[in-house]
Amino acid sequence: MTPPQAILVFPHLRVQNANAISSPLTHGFPSITAFTGLMWALERKLAQAQIPLRLHGVGVVCHHHQEQVTQGYVRTFNLTRNPVDKDGSTAAIVEEGRIHLDITLVFAVSEKPLPGTPPRLVQDARETLQQWADEAGHVLSHMRVAGGSLLPVRPALGKRVRPWMAVLPDEAKKREESFREWRRQWLPGFALVGRDDLLAERLRMLRERTPQTTLLDAWLHASRFNYQPVNPEAGDGKVRWADPLRPRGSGWIVPIPVGYAALSGQHAAGTVGNARDATVPLRFVESVYSLGEWISPHRLARLEHLLWHAETDEDKGLYRCRSGYAASAEPDDLADGTQGRDEEDIYAYT
């Protein structure tokens, strides 16, 4: 596989009415699979526009979000009333979640080599890089992002809103220095990264008390606040309630869907009725869940920690997104951009 050679950045995209229901069990932000799907769709459209770029991974930084819900202790989605049916009767209300977003998308890209032409994705080709970035921004402006519509970019003081590209330095140290400069542009904001390690740790802790705990039990336990009385402080005499597994500074941990697991074998193309695409094989799937963390970009050590990439395991029937984030990685670790992984796959599905 060709390693990434550059990054393509779309800063401060204004998305209206994106899908806030990310899975049957989660809501509040689009699934990361929506952005990997956008990556593949964008690559195909770039090929049609004669832009020789291959997209390898995507990073998401959220600067602002406004979920369309009623305010209060119990919140419900703001639903739209559909027009009446052709016979004049009231149309059924289909519950849908919508959210407005201000996000920055970061793509790791490489050049598709063309026979007989010199490479154009080089450090000194600033005009070519900006031309490709502008053309890619024009292509993206006609696409949906997580089901939402892109609004026109509004210039703002102190914000870089024009798409841009930059070539990754070959040396690891210079690449980290460049990334430290780039990540300042994504502040204030929070990047979504994967934390499969926290799910594995929660499973280990729960099995110490209850050996029959399943991975799904651990995911549900980590997805909520588990308050219990804590020991009173010396001389205080008051008993306080707190979640001992969510101490101050533990991070903004959230349950997220990360892909799909197969429920059946593959059906040949055209053999299943009412399929969306009758030219490709079809497989019934269900959502795969894990844990994620919203982290400030200035706490990311390198570009690979920001990116998500798709991973397919046909034997297991697993189609999921992997995050390059490593919480304990030092700057000298993982210099090749890879991330170690436990022998047992950490994911949960229902």
Domain contains 173: no
- The answer on 209 and 161 residing in a single domain is no
Q: Residue 328: its pLDDT value, please?
A: 65
- The answer on 242 and 121 residing in a single domain is no
For residues 89 and 321, the model is more confident at 321
Q: Are 207 and 77 in contact (CB under 8 A)?
A: no
User: 62 falls in which pLDDT band (50, 70, 90)?
Assistant: very high
- The answer on 281 and 331 residing in a single domain is yes
Look at the chain and report how many structural domains it folds into.
2
Summarised one tens digit per residue, pLDDT across range 196-205 is 999 999 999 9
- The answer on 214 and 108 residing in a single domain is no
Q: Are 106 and 306 in contact (CB under 8 A)?
A: yes
Q: Residue 1: its pLDDT value, please?
A: 57
Q: Residue 329: its pLDDT value, please?
A: 53
- The answer on 312 and 229 residing in a single domain is yes
The percent of the chain in helix, strand and coil, each rounded to the nearest 5, is 20, 30, 50
- Nearest Cα to 349, choosing from 220, 164, 249? 220
Radius of gyration of the chain (CA): 23
- The answer on 341 and 268 residing in a single domain is yes
Q: Residue 87: its pLDDT value, please?
A: 82
Q: Residue 79: its pLDDT value, please?
A: 81
> Is the per-residue pLDDT at 52 higher than 80?
yes
- The answer on 34 and 147 residing in a single domain is yes
Domain contains 204: yes
Domain contains 332: yes
Query: Which helix H or strand E contains 241, and what residues bound it?
Result: strand 240-242
Domain contains 190: no
Domain contains 191: no
Residues 74-91 have a mean pLDDT of: 79
Q: Which domain holds residue 252?
A: 196-293+306-349
Summarised one tens digit per residue, pLDDT across range 164-204 is 999 999 888 999 999 999 999 999 999 999 999 999 999 99
Q: Residue 36: its pLDDT value, please?
A: 95
- The answer on 239 and 108 residing in a single domain is no
Total Cβ atoms within 10 A of residue 289: 27
> Is the per-residue pLDDT at 341 higher than 70?
no
> Is the per-residue pLDDT at 255 higher than 80?
yes
Q: Name the pairing type of β-strands 252-262 and 318-323.
A: antiparallel
Q: Residue 194: its pLDDT value, please?
A: 93
Q: Residue 4: its pLDDT value, please?
A: 86
Beta-carbon contacts of residue 218 (< 8 Å; ≥ 6 apart): 199, 202, 203, 206, 348
| Mean pLDDT across the chain | 86
